[in-house]
Amino acid sequence: FLKNSNIKIINDDGFRFPSKIKIKKQKKGIILIDPSYEEKDDHEKVINLITKNYEQLENKIIIIWYPMINRNDTNNFIDGFKKTGIQNILRIEMPIQNDNEEINMTGSGLLVFNAHNKTKQSLRGTIIELQKCLQLKGNKKKVIVNYLR
């Protein structure tokens, strides 16, 4: 896998990725962006990064991971992408605990850009089963697998 010339793993600041790789429009690909979200403005930086570079990425599947820590921050992050006008963004959220101010991260989310039509169906069952394995007792939160509108 690592010797395959079609695969590039760049272990660097994800906010600099467009300058690190030559993105060719005719080639398909998957790009995973996994920011630390340690800085207060990282959510906004992710939105700006995708918005600024989406035209050269529109034939790529882009996956962005995000932590579910504060419901308002998560909703603002999602709303920020809704405002971009970018279509075909699949939202996947897997809460493993109820929102709780005493506990930092209560779940994880992914935004998948340019997902194939069957992706939503295939992932829903998998995510629900995974949540059952990881979920703590008393969690009433449901998995979210839907397209942003």
What are the residue ranges spanned by the domains of the chain? 14-147
Task: State the pLDDT confidence band at 17, using cuts at 50, 70 and 90.
Answer: low
- pLDDT of 4 reads 73
> In the chain, how many H helices and how many E strands?
4, 5
| CA–CA dist 42, 45 (Å, integer) | 5
- pLDDT of 41 reads 92
Looking up tokens 């050269």 gives 56
14-147 has CATH 3.40.50.150 classification: yes
The pLDDT of 14-39, averaged and rounded, is 73
E runs forming strands in 1-138: 30-33, 61-68, 89-95, 107-113
Predicted TM-score (pTM) of the model is 0.85
